[in-house]
Amino acid sequence: MKCGILYRISALAIWAALLSSGKAITVIRKHTLIGATQNHPCKELIARLKKTKGETCNFFSCIGARKREQRKALLEAFNIDHKQSSTLYGPLKPRCDIWELEQPKQSTLILDVDIPPTEDDMTSELNRKQIMRICHRSSVVLVHLNQQDIRYNGKSFQINREARHLLRDLAKGQKGRNTPDVYVFLPDINTIKQDATKEDRTAYEQFKTHLYELVHKNNKFHFKSYGDQNNVYKNIKNQDGATNTADIARTIDMDNDDKDETTNSSLVQIREASFGQHRMFLKDRMAEIYRGSKQPTFANAVQSSMVDAALAFYLRTRHINDDEMITHYLDQEYKHMAIFAADAYLRIIMQTAAEAKNRLRKELGDDPKQDTDILINTILADHDSQLADALESLSNKMKPPEWLKNTAEEVRNQLRDNLSAIVAMHKGIPKPTAYTKHERAVEKNYAKQKKKRGINVMLAISCMLRERGYGNRQGYINYQWGPLILTLGYANDRDIAENKPGTGLLTPAFRIQPKLHVNISL
């Protein structure tokens, strides 16, 4: 009896000592937003928050606290035992939890989450829309940017795509009243790049300025270093609650309200991301078939691509509880592939028949005197064998429809008649040598150029200027119209009889002499 009383007295003394030291005992409940919860389901938290109408609580969002020092500062700030199994996480386990801390004065909720993926990332289990909605309703948002979130390209520092989208969306939510303060903790320059030079430090300061401009220079954003996180936690821990509990309940539960509306759109995006490359591959292989290229591995390649796409679709939809819609989309993809496969069957049938006709024409051109009946039967046998092998390789992977089988039989029955018509037409064609001579004669006849015949009339006028007296030198100029000819010249006519001395005749100093030329072309 005395031992029991002493035990109770000692327990009360320890409890009083803890209270006097200022360290309140925190009752922890963790609500996991990914998959099944471990302790209390989120529905219970939402129900309890909705009952506390008119009350407020502290709601903090902690994003990107991955490193040991960051986890320790977070857990110690709110007296969370870091040795509990619920606080331990492996490298492959995503983190998206809400910690419920029942403190003496008021309750506190902490969103503990990794940096959410971008909107077009369909592989992550984190619900970006829900996370951003909760952050906008928080009292304070704490963002930790680690070394892997910042890259250095030798000239400047840049943050990765996920962190950039996070800061951008947080800045968009700072438009109304009662918006939360956002503390962004940045690593030191030496953490990112060892032995940093003066230029590197200048570039890092410019990087901080760029981050401030990225959030539109909002005064609600505070950029701090890792060394300031303890002081920040200390300041925000003691502030009065400013978040309405009913509002928080609606924010957390809003994801379930529009889940049915967003599931279909999410499945459509996942479907496009999973089967987009498969469709392009299918179209490329079909284009090769349309160009006449043989594709002996068409069925195996298409089937392998389809299996890879279906596997990616299953992996990306494993967290969506809508098997009926998932099966519906998958059936549509298989029907889509069946349509392409049927088209491939049809192209193979038509190409095989065309190859048989071309082969017959070539054989008759090389040896017109051979037995045409034997030639037709040989070509038909090879055609049937080639078509059977092609269809069998396809049907092992993709079963052809019945209408395609009927089409193949009709084409086969018409092929013999077409080959016989080619033979009959070929018998009326002259031999190659005679045909060549006839072609050359026709070409020679039409290649002759017609001679130009006609009459061309030209008029010429000559002007001459002589020396005074019996002169023996004269200069002249000729103008000819039709076509235009202009001639300048000099001549000596002393030996002409009329210009000789003793005749008593004096030649004129200036003379115009017209001439008419008629050119006849035969």
**d(C-alpha 270, C-alpha 121), whole Å:** 9
Considering only residues 308 and 489, tell me which one the structure prediction assigns the higher pLDDT: 308
Q: Averaged over 196-207, what is the pLDDT?
A: 90
Q: Is 380 exposed, middle or buried (0-12, 13-18, 19+ CB in 10 A)?
A: middle
**d(C-alpha 213, C-alpha 211), whole Å:** 5
Q: Answer yes or no: is pLDDT of 6 > 70.
A: no
- Extents of the domains making up the chain: 20-256, 260-437, 454-521
Indicate yes or no: pTM above 0.85.
no
Three-state SS string over 302-344 comes to HHHHHHHHHHHHHHHCCCCCCHHHHHHHHHHHHHHHHHHHHHH
Q: How confident is the model at residue 468 (pLDDT cuts 50, 70, 90)?
A: low
Q: How confident is the model at residue 13 (pLDDT cuts 50, 70, 90)?
A: very low
**Which residues lie closer than 8 Å to 357 by C-beta, 6 or more apart?**
415, 418, 419, 422
Q: How confident is the model at residue 319 (pLDDT cuts 50, 70, 90)?
A: confident
Q: Helix or strand or coil: residue 393?
A: helix
Q: How confident is the model at residue 242 (pLDDT cuts 50, 70, 90)?
A: low
**Tens of pLDDT, residues 394-419:** 555 566 667 777 777 788 778 877 88
Q: Answer yes or no: is pLDDT of 229 > 70.
A: yes
**Tens of pLDDT, residues 48-77:** 777 776 677 888 999 998 888 888 888 888
Question: How open is the CA angle 25-252-313, to the nearest 5 degrees?
Answer: 120
Considering only residues 292 and 256, tell me which one the structure prediction assigns the higher pLDDT: 292
Backbone torsions φ then ψ of 28, nearest 5 degrees = -105, 135
**Tens of pLDDT, residues 137-173:** 888 999 999 988 998 888 889 999 899 999 998 998 7
65 closest CA partner among 54, 78, 50, 48: 78
- Could you tell me what percent of the chain has a pLDDT over 70? 65
Q: How confident is the model at residue 456 (pLDDT cuts 50, 70, 90)?
A: confident
Residue 109 corresponds to which tokens in the numbers above?
A: 């909720």
Give the per-residue pLDDT at 187.
Answer: 92
Give the range among 219-233, 242-256, 299-313 with minimum mean pLDDT.
242-256
Q: How confident is the model at residue 40 (pLDDT cuts 50, 70, 90)?
A: very low
Q: Answer yes or no: is pLDDT of 515 > 90.
A: no
Cα–Cα separations (whole angstroms), residue 211 to 167, 189, 190, 273: 9, 15, 19, 31
118 closest CA partner among 67, 159, 152: 159
Q: Averaged over 385-400, what is the pLDDT?
A: 67
Give the per-residue pLDDT at 108.
Answer: 84
**d(C-alpha 458, C-alpha 189), whole Å:** 97
Give the per-residue pLDDT at 62.
Answer: 92
Three-state SS string over 121-190 comes to CCCCCCCHHHHHHHHHCCCEEEEECCHHHEEECCCCEEECHHHHHHHHHHHHCCCCCCCCEEEEEECCHH
The fold adopted by the segment(s) 20-256 is Rossmann fold (3.40.50)
**d(C-alpha 150, C-alpha 298), whole Å:** 45
